[in-house]
Amino acid sequence: MSAPAATGTLADREFVQGWFAARLDRLHPGAESVTVQQVERISRGVSRQTWTVQATVDGRPEAFIVRRDHEAGSVIPTALRLEYEVYRRLADAPVPTSAALWFEDDPAWMPDGRIAYVRQEVAGHWYLPFIADESPGADEQRIAASKEHLDQLAALHTADWAALGFGEIFDVPAGPEDCARSLIETQLKSLAGFQFESNPALAEGVAQLIERAPRDAPRISLCKGTNGHGEEVWRDGRIVAMSDWELSYLTDPAYDFALVQEMIPEIVRDGRRVWGRPEALAYYRERSGIEITHERIEYYRAVYGVMQFLYTHHSGHLIHNRGFRDLRFLWTAWENSYRSNIRLGQEFGFAPEGVRIR
The residue among 53, 105, 93, 43 whose CA lies nearest residue 248 is: 93
HSE (side-chain half, CA atoms, 13 Å) at 174:
6
Task: Give 127-179 pLDDT, tens digit per residue.
Answer: 999 999 999 999 999 999 999 999 999 999 999 999 999 999 999 999 999 99
Question: Do 236 and 256 contact (CB within 8 A), yes or no?
Answer: no
pLDDT at 14: 96
Q: Please state, for a pLDDT cut of 70, what percent of the chain lies above it.
A: 96
Task: Give 107-134 pLDDT, tens digit per residue.
Answer: 999 999 999 999 999 999 999 999 999 9
Choice among 40-44, 231-235, 341-345 with the minimum mean pLDDT: 341-345
Mean per-residue pLDDT, 329-336: 82
**pLDDT of 275 higher than 70:** yes
The residue among 218, 120, 223 whose CA lies nearest residue 177 is: 218
pLDDT at 338: 84
pLDDT at 128: 97
Residue 204 dihedral angles phi and psi, to the nearest 5°: -65, -40
Residue 56 dihedral angles phi and psi, to the nearest 5°: -120, 135
Mean pLDDT of the chain: 92
Task: Give 193-227 pLDDT, tens digit per residue.
Answer: 999 999 888 998 899 999 999 999 999 999 999 99
The residue among 118, 116, 121 whose CA lies nearest residue 98 is: 121
Question: Do 259 and 183 contact (CB within 8 A), yes or no?
Answer: no
Q: Looking only at Cα atoms, what is the longest distance across the chain?
A: 70
pLDDT at 180: 98
pLDDT at 358: 53
Task: Give 67-76 pLDDT, tens digit per residue.
Answer: 999 988 898 9
Which residues lie across from 70 on neighbouring strands?
73
Of the pLDDT bands very low, low, confident and very high (cuts 50, 70, 90), residue 270 is very high
Mean per-residue pLDDT, 229-233: 96
Q: Report how far residue 194's alpha carbon sits from residue 314's, in angstroms, rounded to the nearest whole number.
A: 7
**pLDDT of 6 higher than 60:** no
Contacts of 227 (CB under 8 A, 6+ apart): 149, 153, 242, 244, 256, 259, 260, 261, 263
Q: Report how far residue 176's alpha carbon sits from residue 156's, in angstroms, rounded to the nearest whole number.
A: 16
In angstroms, what CA-CA distances link 356 with 199, 338, 339, 353? 19, 12, 9, 9
**pLDDT of 347 higher than 80:** no
Choice among 1-5, 27-31, 311-315, 318-322 with the minimum mean pLDDT: 1-5
Q: What's the angle, vertex CA 243, arms to CA 132 and CA 262, rounded to 5?
A: 20
Question: Do 83 and 67 contact (CB within 8 A), yes or no?
Answer: yes
Q: List domains and CATH numbers for the chain.
A: 13-120 (3.30.200.20), 136-348 (3.90.1200.10)
pLDDT at 324: 74
